[in-house]
Structures are given as C-alpha cells and as structure tokens.
Amino acid sequence: MQIFDIIFSIFIIAGAAIVAHSIYSKNIETRWHYALYKKALYARIVFAFIFVAIYTFYYDGGDTTAYFSGARSIVLLGQKDFGAVFRVLIGERTYELYSLFDSATGYPEYFHDPNAWSVCRFMVPFYFLGFGSIWGTTLALAIVMFFLLWDFYKMLCRLYPKECKYMSVALFFLPSILFWSSGILKDVWCLVAVLQLYKAMWLVFFRKHSIVPNIFRYVVCAYVLISIRPFVFYTALAASLLWLVFWRVKTVQNKLIRVSTFPVILITSIMGIIVVLNLLGESVEGKYGSFDSMLQHAVIIQDDLKQDYYGGNSFDIGHFDATIQSMLSKVPIATVSGLFRPFLWEGSSVFLKVSALEAALILFFCVYLCIKTRIIGLIKIIIDDSFLSSLCIFVAILAFFTGLSIANFGALVRYRIVYLPFFCIIALRVWGFTRK
C-alpha cells in the first residue's frame, strides 16, 4: 500500500458516501427499508478493505491479484494498440493477440483460461474507476456491485414486504457473502449476474415494465455468466423459466385444467431447456462449459484431493465415475456438503472456522424450521410460492454440483455465495410463516 492508494481510496469512499446519502435522503420517508441502505454499503466497504488486505498481505497474491494484473495488462496494451484492446474486450483470444503483450504490459496469467480471462476483461472499467490501484479497484467493484445487489433487494421488498427486513441479512450481512462478494473474484460477478437475471425476468413478465431495456439486461447477465461459469447460467435459466411456468399454471382458474396442463407445460419447458443447453454447450469454452465436461472435472478433482498439498482443507464424498448413475448416488452427501460444510470440526484455518460456524448456525436454523413446520408445512409453503419454488430448484442443483465437483473447503465457501443468499431467502420466508 502506497500513499496514492490511501488518497484514491478516500476519494472513492467519499464519492460513494455522498451518492448514498443523496439516495437515502430521497427514499427514507416513503420506503422504510432504506434505513438499512447506508449500513449495508459501509459494511461492504469495510469488508472490501479486509478482503484486499488479506489477499495482499496474508496470502501474498492469488486469483485476485492475477485478475487485477490481467486488467492492468489490457489497459497498458491500449497504449500500444487500441484496436487490439477492443478485440480482447469482446472476447477474442488468439496467439497473435497474446504476442502483443510484452514486459512493458506484463504477461497476463489467465489469457489461456477463457473463464478466468473473462474476469480480467470485465475488470477493465473498474481499473479506471479505481485509478489503477488494486485497493481503489476493489472498492469501486464492491460499491458498484452493492448498488446492483440493492436493486434486487428492492424486488424482494415488493414480493415479501413483511420479511424483507430479515432477508437483508441474506444479501448484505452474512459474513461469508460480505467477504467473498467484496473482492475481485469470479463469485461476485456470478452472484450479481444471477440476481439481475431474476430481476430482469420479474420486470418483463410479472411487472410488464421497460421490457426492451430489461431484455437487454437479461442478455448482458447471461453473457457474463456464460463467460465466467456457464453452468451457473444453465441452472439460472432453467430455474427462472420454471418460475414463469409455475406462475402461469397457478393463474389458471379451473383446477382440472391447471392439473392436467401442468405436466405438459413442465415437460415442454424442460425439453426446451435441454435443447438450449446442448446448443450452448457446443460453443462454450472451459471446464464448466458442458454437463459432460463438468462430470469429467468432478472426477479429476475427487482423485486430486487424495494428494497431501491441501493440508487438511479438503473433503471426500467417496468414489464416483463420470456417469449419471454414479453421480446420482452422491446426491445426498454432495448436496449437504454444498450447503453446510465445512462442519465445525473440519478446516484448519481461522477463515474456515468462521465459515464452519456460519454454516452450523444456518443448519441449526433449517432444522428448527423443519421441526416447526413438520416438513410438510415447509414443502407446502415453497410449492405455493412460484418464486420460492424456482429458488429451491436453483439452490438444489448448484449445491449438488458444487459439493460434487469441489473438494477444497476454501473453494467451496467461495462457490457457495452464488446460491447461499437464495437458500437463506427461502429459509427466512418460511420463518416468516411460522411467526404468523
């Protein structure tokens, strides 16, 4: 950290505070949930500082610094060849482009990894907003992402006005989400893109509001997800479309027609999703580009965890091979792992112990809800709410595949922040019913 890092960081925080206070003042009298607005923003700023401090001083580098260095290399390349930068930013990756990088621009570490390189490309605007400082860039990213998270939160407040105060915890105050979504990582991009994808669909189909701009919003979010973690987009696409299907079926007044048409609509939707996934899977790069590549990667990861360089921070869900039958046999343990591990007795670092405590509290809360609702009541609450049904599908699929394909606790707690807010939203909505 140098003096200009401090100066630029103060400048960014001051600008964000002025904007936040203006927004807060305009809305607090008519929208009570804005009482949390500045608290949530300042919490994210604090955790952004903690994040970058840990990654620069404690870890001495890692993915975060590699993403930042990649963005810097792109910016420096612009001083040599602006046309080449444009080609890089739109996603072109060729040996001819890579040969343009030199010792002056730096050689980007992730150029040959399409998913990681996408993060570097997307970070270029934030590099400018952060004045070329990793501290400033992290702050700029955290603040912009906060505004997008709040935009989704406003949708929650419209859907669940009585529970939205508690649901703010799921988006803004859980330690793991605050920490891992406040830094330069793939996870914050995926989380915000999924939330905005849902917001766009809600505005287009349920609110009939600004249809063209929100279709554009959906396309942008889809591009971000396909570029970074394609399977997250596949899951979000399936879950969000089923949200629309569930809602349409529930609007049918005649119960006989509703019951008879539901299976047809559901099967047609699933077939359409499968066709789309197959078409996208052929053109998407990376180990998470297709279902088969994910299975192969999961098998490799599980074999790799037998090595000793993880230092006790790995977990084993048992042997399986890259077949659907073998994979389905791991549904219970993989899903539980994706949602609730590390357990309190697992993980050797302080950071993992904090994550384990958080996961244990969430697990105890879920057990309490199951007892309170006798499980049947919980299922009924979810089925009766098409949005919660969609979130449940999204969480179940991603939790399963995360537990199946990730064997390191450090990676697990990062990957989980994409679906953990949705899981907590479901739990808090059910809790709201139990308090009536």
Q: Would the pLDDT of 430 be above 60?
A: yes
Which range of 212-221, 242-251, 300-309 scores highest in mean pLDDT? It is 212-221
Q: Which tens digits make up the pLDDT trace of 4-47?
A: 778 888 888 888 889 888 988 888 887 888 888 999 999 999 99
As given in the structure block, the two tokens for residue 32 are: 């009570």
Distance linking the first and last C-alpha atoms of the chain: 52
Q: How many CB atoms lie within 10 A of CB 179?
A: 20
Average pLDDT of the residues of the chain:
84
Cβ atoms of 170 and 428 within 8 Å: the answer is: yes
pLDDT at residue number 294? 62
Q: Would the pLDDT of 306 be above 80?
A: no
How far, in Å, CA of 433 to CA of 436, rounded? 5
pLDDT at residue number 57? 81
User: Which amino acid belongs to residue 237?
Assistant: L
Q: Would the pLDDT of 366 be above 90?
A: yes
> From its phi and psi, is residue 312 left (phi > 0), alpha (psi between -120 and 50) or beta?
left
**Average pLDDT for residues 279-291, to the nearest whole number?**
57
Q: Which tens digits make up the pLDDT trace of 111-140?
A: 988 999 999 999 999 999 988 899 999 999
How far, in Å, CA of 386 to CA of 159, rounded? 11
Cβ atoms of 36 and 168 within 8 Å: the answer is: yes
Q: What angle do CA 234, 114, 79 make, to 5 degrees?
A: 135
**Average pLDDT for residues 362-389, to the nearest whole number?**
89
Cβ atoms of 361 and 340 within 8 Å: the answer is: no
Cβ atoms of 95 and 112 within 8 Å: the answer is: no
pLDDT at residue number 40? 92
How far, in Å, CA of 104 to CA of 85, rounded? 15
Q: What is this structure's pTM? A: 0.89
Q: Which tens digits make up the pLDDT trace of 90-118?
A: 888 888 999 999 888 999 989 988 999 99
**Average pLDDT for residues 46-61, to the nearest whole number?**
85
- Residue 310: band (very low, low, confident or very high) from pLDDT cuts 50, 70, 90: very low
User: Which amino acid belongs to residue 290?
Assistant: S
**Average pLDDT for residues 283-291, to the nearest whole number?**
55
Helix/strand/coil (H, E, C) string of the chain?
A: CCHHHHHHHHHHHHHHHHHHHHHHHHHCCCCHHHHHHHHHHHHHHHHHHHHHHHHHHHCCCCHHHHHHHHHHHHHHHCCCCHHHHHHHHCCCCCHHHHCCCCCCCCCCCCCCCHHHHHHHHHCHHHHHHCCCCHHHHHHHHHHHHHHHHHHHHHHHHHHCCCCHHHHHHHHHHCHHHHHHCCCCCHHHHHHHHHHHHHHHHHHHHHCCCCHHHHHHHHHHHHHHHHHHCHHHHHHHHHHHHHHHHHHHHHCCCCHHHHHHHHHHHHHHHHHHHHHHHHHHHHHCCCCCCCHHHHHHHHHHHHHHCCCCCCCCCECCCCCCCCCHHHHHCCHHHHHHHHHHCCCCCCCCCHHHHHHHHHHHHHHHHHHHHHHHHCCHHHHHHHHHCHHHHHHHHHHHHHHHHHHHHCCEHHHHHHHHHHCHHHHHHHHHHHHHHHCC
As given in the structure block, the two tokens for residue 70 are: 């990649």
pLDDT at residue number 265? 61
Q: Would the pLDDT of 293 be above 90?
A: no
As given in the structure block, the two tokens for residue 159 are: 């859907």
The domain spans of the chain are 3-184, 290-434
Closest C-alpha to 389, from 356, 419, 426, 417: 426
Closest C-alpha to 244, from 145, 425, 379, 389: 389
Closest C-alpha to 289, from 88, 48, 115, 74: 115
Burial of 64 (0-12, 13-18, 19+ CB in 10 A): buried
CA distances from 195 to 252, 330, 343, 422 (A): 28, 28, 28, 9
**Residue 253 phi, psi dihedral angles, 5° rounding:** -75, -40
Q: Which tens digits make up the pLDDT trace of 235-259?
A: 898 888 888 888 877 776 666 665 5
Q: Which tens digits make up the pLDDT trace of 147-180?
A: 999 999 999 999 998 888 888 999 999 999 999 9
Q: Report percent pLDDT > 70 for the chain.
A: 85
**Average pLDDT for residues 194-221, to the nearest whole number?**
93
Q: Would the pLDDT of 308 be above 50?
A: no
How far, in Å, CA of 238 to CA of 104, rounded? 45
Sign of CA dihedral 140, 144, 146, 149: negative
